Amino acid sequence: MKIEKQILHNCFAQAKKHLKEGNKDEARNQLDMGIAWVAEKRIEGYKAKDTIEDIRVELWLERFWMTLENNNLLL
């Protein structure tokens, strides 16, 4: 069964699209939204090794944070 790409995949894809277009503010917003969504799941009890959209929570956080850092988007 193929996993359906949902909220986090969409946030990450939109962030990459906005970065490519040079819209850093929108990219930052998408990445921050992804981090906030994962944070909400952690509050609900998800652990680092649990998966969301077939990807580990820790990997989602790493992707979002590294994209922020590598593109100088941290405030």
User: How many angstroms separate the CA atoms of 12 and 16, rounded?
Assistant: 6
What one-letter code names the amino acid at 73? L
Structurally, the chain folds into a number of domains equal to: 1
Q: What share of the chain is helix, strand, coil (3-state, %, to 5)?
A: 65, 5, 30
Query: In this predicted structure, what is the pLDDT of residue 4?
Result: 58
In a domain, residue 2? The reply is no
Reported as a single tens digit per residue, the pLDDT across 41-72 is 999 999 999 999 999 999 999 999 999 999 99
Determine, yes or no, domain membership for 75: no
Reported pTM: 0.90
Task: Look at residue 2 and give its three-state secondary structure.
Answer: coil
51 belongs to a structural domain: yes
pLDDT for 1 equals 42
Residue 23 domain boundaries: 7-70
pLDDT in tens, 29-40: 999 999 999 999
Beta bridge partners of residue 56, listed in sequence order? 51
